[in-house]
Structure 1
Amino acid sequence: MTITQQRHLESACATAEVHWRRWTVDMQVIVTDPGCLAEARLTVDTELDAVEAAASRFRADSEISALAASSGQPTEVSELLAEMLGAALQAARHTDGDVDPTIGAAVIALGDDRDDIALDSPVPLATSVTRPATWSMVHIDHRTVTVPAGVVLDLGATAKALAADRCAARVHAATGSGVLINLGGDIATAGSAPEGGWPVLVHDGDDEPASLVALCSGAAMATSSTVRRTWRRGGQRLHHILDPRTGASADPVWRTVTVTAASCLAANTVSTAAIIRGRRAPDWIRHQSIAARLVDCDGIVHTLGGWPDDAMCRPR
């Protein structure tokens, strides 16, 4: 998990922060103008309310649940959901289908069918699901979306990252403050960073290998993990990142993959695809011209693209 560490700031009085839990993850907002913290938190909550109403497959009244019941008919959606679906399809294109939003039925069949699933919670065996479609069969025309009958969309691989980007932009626009948004390891920033950058401690846990970086203004980071959001089925430990081609949890070659990029959405797209690609991931990431940190199943750290130097702020 990636958690910002406020205590590493040399001048704590120059910033203010708030922590809370939502969507079963730790969330955090840090602003460089302490006087606007309450407004920043309200702005973030308002944005997350809208994201949940649009894209939560755990809510029967969400727009994405309505799409699942549309029987393949063209359906008009909100601008927000259209943007989120467009982002998910772009991620699928960029990753050659490794990140595919049409995996919802497979995710549910594996037991990830509720928002509050507990670590190592047992779930009953389910029959395998034959996926009736792939991402290329989902069509968007402005705000009109057509999803093949029987397809359940799951935007979990991109929605939270896009929400982090949107929250950072909205807080900065509303307050003028520099801001860092951390939605369970999906980190986005906007506005001016504190002197020396935004300090971020990257690690899986207190006893795990750690790396401290300082994100520049406007930089983003995402971590994808096979050791978070796990459960057991039939004696097998499963996790929430599925290989679209098999409908099963991706082989846990990597415990975590952390990526820095110009947006959280871009970082999360690469980190999620890296988990799915397994041993093929390093060569693919090298061609992305980004910095990344991968921790393998034995706890050995692998760094690419100049990590951590290329993930850090440099004097200008």
Structure 2
Amino acid sequence: MDMQIIVTDPDALAAARCAVDAELDAIDAAASRFNPDSEINALTRSGRPTKVSELLAELLGAALLAAQQTDGDIDPTIGARLIDLGYDRDIADMDSSAPLAMSVSQSADWSMVSLDGRMVAVPLGVVLDLGSTAKAVAADRCAAQAHRITGAGVLVNLGGDIATAGDAPDEGWQVLVCDGDDQPAAMVALSPGVALATSSTLRRRWRHGKRAMHHIVDPRSGWPAEPVWRTVSVVAASCLAANTVSTAAVIRGWRAVDWIRAQRLPARLVDSDGIVHTLGGWPAENSGGRR
């Protein structure tokens, strides 16, 4: 995963990096499906109510909230299906020669997960994948913790999930939004304390046989969402809120336009033809872009 840390005080960078590294290590230990020793994998194997750490409870709560807000378009119980589709390890280690599984794993949905404080119950056989929501929460936590420790303004970018904390530079946080070398790009200025998330059908891709796959799976069909959108970028008060909308928008396809417009969130959607659609007062762009 690509990571960037930007601070308003250069002397604060080392301390900010230490804070971010510590947060990411803790989240990996709590919630990574690819870490065999993670707390979430132990929970998946248990099949009985389990008291989890405060961190994992927070991450599960965020995933379940995203599921509720998107009517199940984002579903943390999609893990087994991702494994069926070949996404069974870190994307850098994927084996595209493996045969494609054609059957859907045990039917599951987010309502089967019970969270009461730190007590969690997950039916045996249901594999949790917190995916994008955990990364978004990580960005929010990393920015907040780095600012808390250093007092500097901080921007943290975790593979397109961008969170900020503290004061911004005078010109705002300058962020380049793009979805490919050959596609329109835009530089936008983010105000202090806001976040931006980009969800893409162009990244975390692999092949099984002749079929191209990407990591944003529609829980209802069990297959990667149709690539109506190359990328969806959303600005919101937190990275979790922005990521929830951007990921669900990929799954909803063209229906996402009215849905995002109703929420009055700034968004930039690039369709499969490379045409840029901006909604909800998307920040002024100072380069590139077609409408």
| Cα distance change of structure 1 residues 260 and 268 upon mapping to structure 2, 3 Å threshold | same
SS at match of 1:69: helix
**Equivalent residues, number:** 285
- Name the CA distance, whole Å, in 2 between partners of 1:142 and 1:110: 33
Moved more, 46-55 or 228-237: 228-237
Deviations 1:36-80 (A, max 9, x none): 110100100000000000000111110110111012x10111000
Alignment partners' CA distance in 2, 1:232 and 1:117: 13
Q: Which residues of 2 match residues 171-250 of structure 1 at below 5 A?
A: 171-250=146-225
Deviation at 1:95, TM superposition (A): 0.3
Percent of aligned pairs sharing the same letter:
69
Query: 2:96, 2:209 within 8 Å by CA — same for their partners in 1?
Result: no
Report the Cα distance in structure 1 between the residues aligned to 2:111 and 2:69, rounded to whole angstroms.
Answer: 12
Q: Cα distance 1:70–1:118, how it changes in 2: closer, same or farther (>3 A)?
A: closer
- What are the Cα deviations for residues 255-280 of structure 1, in whole angstroms up to 9, with x where unaligned? 00000000000000000000000111
Please point out which of 260, 272, 275 is paired with 1:297. 272
CA contact (8 A) 1:224 1:275 kept: yes
Equivalent of 2:99 in 124, 127, 134? 124
- The correspondence for 1:37, drawn from 13, 31, 45, is 13
User: How far is 1:126 from its partner?
Assistant: 1.4
- Which of 109, 113, 134 matches 2:88? 113
Supply the distance in 1 between the matched residues of 2:120 and 2:172 (Cα, whole angstroms). 40
1:61 to 15, 32, 37: 37
Deviation at 1:119, TM superposition (A): 8.3
In structure 2, what residue type is equivalent to 1:36? Answer: A
CA distance in 1, matches of 2:232, 2:176: 14
Matched, 1:253 2:228: yes
Match of 2:263 in 1: 288
Task: Report 1:265-280 matches (<5 A).
Answer: 265-280=240-255
> Where does structure 1 lack aligned partners over 5 or more consecutive residues?
1-24, 311-316
| Residue of structure 1 in register with 2:54 after alignment | 79
CA-CA distance at 1:118 after TM superposition: 6.0
1:167 alignment partner AA: C
Query: Partner of 1:192: helix, strand, or coil?
Result: coil
Distance in 2 separating the partners of 1:117 and 1:269: 25
Counterpart Cα distance in 2 of 1:253 and 1:240 = 14
TM-score between the two structures when normalised by the length of structure 1: 0.88
- CA distance in 2 between counterparts of 1:251 and 1:120 reads 23
1:120 Cα deviation after fit: 9.2
TM-score normalised by L of structure 2:
0.95
What are structure 2's unaligned runs of at least 5 residues?
286-291
2:189–2:283 contact (8 Å) kept in structure 1: no
